[in-house]
Structure formats: C-alpha cells, structure tokens
Amino acid sequence: MPAYRTTASVLRLRSGPGTDHRIIGRLPRGTLLQALQGPTGGWLRVNADLLDGELTGWVSADHVEPLDPVQVLVEPPWLAVARAEMGVHEYTGSRHNPRIVQYHQATSLHASDDETPWCSSFVNWCMLQATVPGTGSALARSWARWGVHLPQPRLGCITVFRRQVPGNPAAGHVAFFLEQIGNRIHVLGGNQGNRVCIGNYPSADLIDHRWHA
C-alpha cells in the first residue's frame, strides 16, 4: 500500500471523504499513513499509525506527502513515540504539566516541575518507551557520547546541538532528526518553544548525529 506522512500541524481524520463528515481523529504533523483508497475527489482513505493503535478514516490529499517505502521501513520505533507526544506543553503559572514531570523520571535528576530544561528528559523517555536504553541524564550533551557516531544523519537519529548561553559553555539541545533543508536541521523534540513540536536549528550549531550501538 502507498505510504504517506501528514504535513499539516494537525490534520483532521474524517469518517468520509469531505468536510461534511464527522471528525474521528486529529493527527499531528508527521503521522504515518497507509493509503487504502483514493485519491477520490481530493481525499484519501487511510490507516493512521498511532502509538495506541490504528485509526481508519479519510484525510485531505492536500495535506499529506508520499513516502519512499524504504523510509517507512527504517523509521525507528522511538520516533513514533515522539510523534504521539506532539503538542505536550508547559503550563503557565504555578502548575506543572504531569506529562513533562513523567519525562523527567527517565533521568537521574527526577525533576518535579515543567520549568527545568527537559529536552534530554523527553528523549530519554521516548527511548525507554521503545525499550532502548538512553543516557539517563538530564544534560542534552550527554547524548554526544551515547551510541555511535553517524557520518550522515538518518531519520530519527539523535541530534545534539550546542546552545549559546552566557556563563554556561556546556549548554546544549537534543532532539530527533527529521531532515535538513539548506543550513537548517529540522528535528522533533521536547522543550522547543516550551512544547513537543518540530523545530529547526542552524547546522552550524550541530555537535553530532548519534545512533544506538
């Protein structure tokens, strides 16, 4: 079956081919789809591959892109975990998002708030859900010593960046590689604008791409 990936930030999955049909799901950007029927009048009937199972419905063909079959086969399981977390965000005020606190429990720091930097906590948590050991550290740059170096990035690999923070030369950021466009590296990660989302960073700030040993 042809494979697709959603390109809209949130794509509505409908019960039929048209906007007059009810919404049965909302798919975050990057959700993998297997086409079952169509395009029919600009709509595709698809299976949506989600963390907790599959949903079948119709999506607008204007907001999906075809995937190379090889790319589908090599997408690592932890990337599917990360995609399902998209939209998780910090709470304003004195409350803390319990989901982010849960991410922190995957590291030795065990922070109990959503204000402590959590990009490494998110990556560690995603890896553990996929039964792959992470670094167990809340430090983003700990991932620069994890696994093995990749001469060329691959979908879902761990990507580590340096950050320019006065007084903190060890500052960094870590996320999952999606693609590079020009001199910008697009990644899916946590604590990007205080949420789990897709962001992009200058390739000049790249420290390394890593893969599990």
User: Is the peptide bond between 39 and the residue preceding it cis, with omega within 30 degrees of 0?
Assistant: yes
- Give percent of the chain with pLDDT exceeding 90: 67
Reported confidence tier of residue 2, pLDDT bands at 50, 70, 90: confident
In the chain, the domains with their CATH numbers are 3-68 (2.30.30.40), 75-211 (3.90.1720)
**Predicted local confidence at residue 82, as pLDDT:** 94
Q: Is the pLDDT of residue 53 over 90?
A: no
CA dihedral 27, 30, 32, 35 (to 10 degrees): 80
User: Starting from the edge strand earliest in sequence, which strands make up the sheet with 184-189, in order?
Assistant: 148-149, 206-211, 158-162, 172-181, 184-189, 197-202
Total length of the chain: 213
pLDDT at residue 102 above 90?
Answer: yes
Lowest mean pLDDT among 22-36, 115-129, 149-163, 189-203: 22-36
Indicate the range of 1-5, 43-47, 89-93, 100-104 predicted with least confidence. 1-5
pLDDT tens readout for residues 54-76? 789 999 999 998 876 555 556 79
d(CA 156, CA 76): 6
Mean pLDDT value of segment 116-120 = 97
Strands (E), the chain: 3-6, 10-14, 23-28, 32-40, 43-50, 53-60, 64-66, 148-149, 158-162, 172-181, 184-189, 197-202, 206-211
The answer to whether residue 142 scores a pLDDT higher than 80 is yes
The residue type found at 32 is L
Distances (CA, A) of 62 to 2, 7, 12, 198: 16, 9, 12, 20
Dihedral angle computed from the Cα positions of residues 55, 61, 63 and 68, in that order, rounded to the nearest 10 degrees? 80
State mean pLDDT over 170-188: 91
Radius of gyration of the chain (CA): 18
Report the SS3 class of residue 147.
coil
Range with the poorest average pLDDT among 27-41, 91-105, 126-140, 141-155 = 27-41
Q: What is the DSSP string of 97-146?
A: -HHHHHHHTTSTT---SSSS--HHHHHHHHHHHTT------S-GGGGGGS
How high is the mean pLDDT of the chain? 90
- Alpha-carbon distance of 117 to 110, in angstroms, equals 12
Secondary structure class of 152 (helix, strand, coil): coil
Q: What is the pLDDT of residue 136?
A: 97
